[in-house]
Amino acid sequence: MSKLFQVDYQTPIGVLEITGTDEAVNSILFAEQDVVVHPLTEETPMALKECYVQMDEYFKGERHKFSFPSISVGTEFQKSVWNALTTIPYGETGSYKDIAMIIGNEKAIRAVGSANGKNKLSIVVPCHRIIGSDGKLTGYAGGLWRKEWLLKHEKGITRLPI
């Protein structure tokens, strides 16, 4: 089993905890507390360093796609949903129904919602881009206020902290 490392990145909307191994990032989640505990060090693996830099570029409005090594652990269905989420372009939104149609299972709307909620690669696998079919914001593990901020950020409405 590979050793896990963590680095924390301070965003305008809270701390992102980035975890992974020497090979890849496996989790990017908003922390409950707003304190940076794990800074970049010489021992931080390159994958986490690349993620940190790319998150910084994203929050500065300079990056729309990510290229650092990452790995998602889940069922084949969850992975298909997460892969479909990455097809929603920067600055745009989709619905659970849209994702169900992309994966070829129109009736799996609730299962898509469940898989969406288990995504551990926030922002990179853009679950924040999923809204209700009625255009309203739906649940987001990081909080609806963060989801709203991220969507506005991607549409160029805000570049500053709320």
Q: Which of 108, 127, 131, 151 is catalytic?
A: 127
Cα distances (angstroms) measured from residue 80 to each of 4, 28, 103: 25, 19, 7
Is 162 in contact with 153 (CB distance < 8 Å)?
A: no
Give the torsion through C-alpha atoms of 8, 43, 118, 13, to 10 deg: 10
The CA-CA-CA angle for residues 127, 60, 71, to 5°, reads 40
Cite the DSSP H helix spans in 11-162. Answer: 46-59, 76-85, 96-102, 109-117, 144-154
**Residue 127 falls in the annotated catalytic set:** yes
Cα atoms in the Cβ-side hemisphere of radius 13 Å centred on 115: 25
Catalytic residues: 127
